[in-house]
């Protein structure tokens, strides 16, 4: 008679419940594992046998029996070592060495040869899906317990070794695993890592203002200026003025980083800041592989993607940013599958005016040939230009200003307060519509992968045409200013709407109910000339 226990795996960012069935029959020893296993799953046979033996039980290899392990559904490719624990428990149940009721329980974990349970990836997505599927208990590695316990409403049991679980089900020995308490996040005492503070940067007031607007509304920024003017430093300081992550955003970002194996610690508490080198491939940026995995743009979800030396990236890499910048997600299609990853980030780019970095400088001469200059500038296509909201010049700073101790720049904390206030205005503005959307597709929301939780519009940059008509109304005078400038600058429809979104953010920073003339004029100043 076959027995069945339950496990789970992540595909993309979405988890699927996997039935682990074991059937034992008398005969010459064999151990078959079916259900489209990859190499890591196929090798679990040896890990499981060794772990069972070293935990004090009878190994499958010491008995004359045929062992067949089926991972269902069979058409779904199985990958990774996450099934080790479930296969071991299914075999022990089938061989009557352990007795328990498998319904409502999920087993997750990689087994070491001595029976210890090693941590796995994507635990948060696995637990969330298990809860949605109606499971009541999850047994998983102790190293993943805090991450898993972020999800309430399901019992989490942290295990260090296989023997812990078998003893838990053996009620005669009086041993029982303790339920992992819900993970509480102390937002009040959390101190984020700050690389640079705006007070460390002297001058560049225009750039600082642009970055403040970008942080308040979630807008993309391009900083251009000669080498050594502080563009990289400004980008790193940008993280210090961003608002803290909400609990929902912590779940999103933690799930993504956990799946990608990029989780440092138990969970993500501050907004991601990703800075890939300009030699990065488009696969590294958007995600991919035989079985698609998240790339840099997904790892920067709800945070910042900093692209230094922007024109030095391959043209293919730059153009791959079109969809995520516009829609907030990216579709990755490969021969073995197609996955949609969330990619709602703020893009901060930095570039020199030319390859040598001296074009337009008053102190140094540009040595670039005309052809090289043209090729350099053509790297950035019109569609990418349209998707960047603020084009900010970062000029050279006078040496006297750098050495003047009397000049005190505004600290990031002060700017951050204004940014948070503007974000709160936006949150209240969109709250009613977001609530209505969420209630309409509640079931879909509960089961959806991280990043697609139906949060709705959160910042001005995410507004569509419908929201613009409702929340960014323009007076006739403001319309005339915008239309006149749009004609002179030859703005596309996309760029036209982005100017309105930007002006809405500037108005929020001024705590103004309506977009006024000065707001639209400032927004227009950030378009490339």
Contacting residues for 271 by C-beta, under 8 A, at least 6 apart: 239, 242, 244, 245, 253, 302, 303, 304
Q: Please, is 529 exposed, middle or buried when counting C-beta atoms within 10 Å of its C-beta (0-12, 13-18, 19+)? A: exposed
Which comes out higher in pLDDT, residue 450 or 13? 13
Task: Name the pairing type of β-strands 329-334 and 273-274.
Answer: unpaired
Has residue 190 got a pLDDT over 70? Answer: no
Residues in the chain: 529
User: Given this model, what pLDDT does residue 474 score?
Assistant: 93
Task: Give the domain 198-433 fold.
Answer: Rossmann fold (3.40.50)
Provide the residue ranges of all domains of the chain, joining segments of one domain with +.
3-173, 198-433
How far apart are the C-alpha atoms of 168 and 166, rounded to whole Å?
5
Q: What is the pLDDT of residues 129-177, one digit of tens each?
A: 999 999 999 999 999 999 999 999 999 999 999 999 999 998 777 688 9
Q: What is the pLDDT of residues 62-118, one digit of tens each?
A: 888 899 999 999 988 898 899 999 999 999 999 999 999 999 999 999 999 999 999
Q: Please, is 477 exposed, middle or buried when counting C-beta atoms within 10 Å of its C-beta (0-12, 13-18, 19+)? A: exposed
CB of 410 within 8 A of CB of 240? no
DSSP string, 20-70: EEEEEEESS-EEEEESSB-HHHHTHHHHHHHHHHHTTS--GGGSSEEEEEE
Tokens of 134: 């109606």
Q: What does CATH list as the number for 3-173? A: 3.30.230.10
User: Given this model, what pLDDT does residue 445 score?
Assistant: 46
Task: Name the pairing type of β-strands 390-393 and 221-224.
Answer: parallel
User: Given this model, what pLDDT does residue 47 score?
Assistant: 95
Residues β-bridged to residue 179? 157
List % helix, strand, coil for the chain (3-state, nearest 5): 45, 20, 40
Structure letter (DSSP) for residue 173: G
Q: What angle do CA 368, 369, 370 make, to 5 degrees?
A: 115
With residue 146 as reference, give the H or E element that holds it.
helix 145-148
Q: What is the pLDDT of residues 198-218, one digit of tens each?
A: 888 888 889 999 999 999 999
Q: Buried b / exposed e across 268-288, counting CB within 10 Å, b at 16+?
A: bbbbbbbebeeeeebbebbbb
Rg (CA), the chain: 27
Q: In 3D, which of 457, 396, 470, 459 has the Cα closest to residue 424?
A: 459
């Amino acid at each position: 008679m076959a027995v069945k226990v339950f496990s789970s795996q992540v595909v993309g960012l979405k988890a699927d419940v996997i039935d682990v069935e074991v059937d034992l029959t008398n005969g010459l020893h064999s151990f078959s594992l079916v259900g489209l296993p990859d190499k890591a799953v196929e090798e679990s046979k040896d890990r499981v046998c060794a772990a069972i033996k070293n935990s004090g039980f009878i190994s499958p290899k010491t008995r004359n029996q045929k062992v067949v392990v089926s991972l269902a559904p069979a058409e779904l490719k199985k990958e990774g070592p996450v099934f080790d624990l479930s296969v071991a428990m299914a075999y022990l149940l089938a061989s009557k060495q352990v007795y328990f009721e498998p319904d409502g329980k999920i087993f997750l974990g990689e087994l070491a040869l001595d029976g210890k349970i090693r941590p796995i990836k994507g635990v948060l997505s696995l637990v969330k899906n298990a809860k949605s599927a109606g499971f009541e208990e999850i047994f998983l590695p102790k190293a993943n317990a805090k991450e898993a316990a972020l999800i309430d409403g399901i019992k989490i049991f942290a295990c260090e070794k296989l023997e812990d679980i078998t003893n838990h089900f053996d009620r005669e020995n009086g041993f029982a695993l303790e339920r992992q308490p819900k993970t509480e996040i102390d937002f009040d005492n959390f101190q984020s890592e700050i690389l640079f503070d705006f007070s460390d940067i002297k001058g560049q007031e225009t750039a600082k203002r642009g970055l403040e607007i970008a942080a308040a509304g979630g807008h993309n920024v391009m900083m251009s200026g000669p080498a050594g003017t502080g563009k990289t430093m400004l980008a790193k300081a940008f993280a210090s003025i961003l608002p803290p992550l909400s609990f929902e955003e912590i779940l999103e970002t933690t799930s993504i980083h956990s799946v990608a194996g990029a989780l440092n610690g138990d969970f993500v508490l501050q907004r991601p800041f990703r800075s890939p080198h300009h030699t990065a491939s488009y696969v590294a940026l958007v995600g991919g592989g035989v079985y698609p995995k998240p790339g840099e743009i997904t790892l920067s979800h709800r945070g910042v993607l900093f692209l230094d030396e922007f024109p030095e990236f391959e043209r293919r890499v730059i153009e791959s940013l079109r969809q995520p910048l516009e829609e907030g997600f990216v579709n990755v299609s490969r021969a073995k599958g197609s996955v949609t990853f969330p990619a709602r980030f703020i893009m901060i780019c930095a570039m020199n005016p030319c390859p040598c970095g001296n074009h337009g400088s008053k102190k140094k001469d540009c040595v670039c040939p005309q052809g090289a200059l043209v090729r350099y500038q053509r790297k950035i296509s019109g569609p990418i230009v349209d998707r960047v909201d603020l084009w900010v010049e970062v000029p050279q700073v006078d040496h006297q200003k750098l050495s003047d101790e009397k000049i005190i720049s505004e600290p990031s904390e002060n700017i951050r307060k204004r940014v948070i206030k503007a974000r709160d205005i936006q949150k209240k503005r969109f709250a009613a519509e977001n609530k209505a959307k969420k209630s309409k597709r509640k079931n879909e929301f509960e089961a959806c992968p991280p990043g697609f939780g139906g949060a709705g519009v959160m910042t001005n940059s995410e507004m569509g045409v419908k929201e613009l008509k409702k929340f960014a109304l323009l007076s006739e005078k403001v319309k005339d200013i915008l239309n006149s400038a749009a004609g002179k600058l030859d703005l596309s429809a996309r760029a036209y709407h982005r100017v309105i979104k930007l002006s809405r953010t500037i108005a929020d920073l001024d705590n103004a109910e309506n977009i006024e003339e000065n707001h639209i004029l400032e927004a227009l100043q950030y378009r490339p000339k």
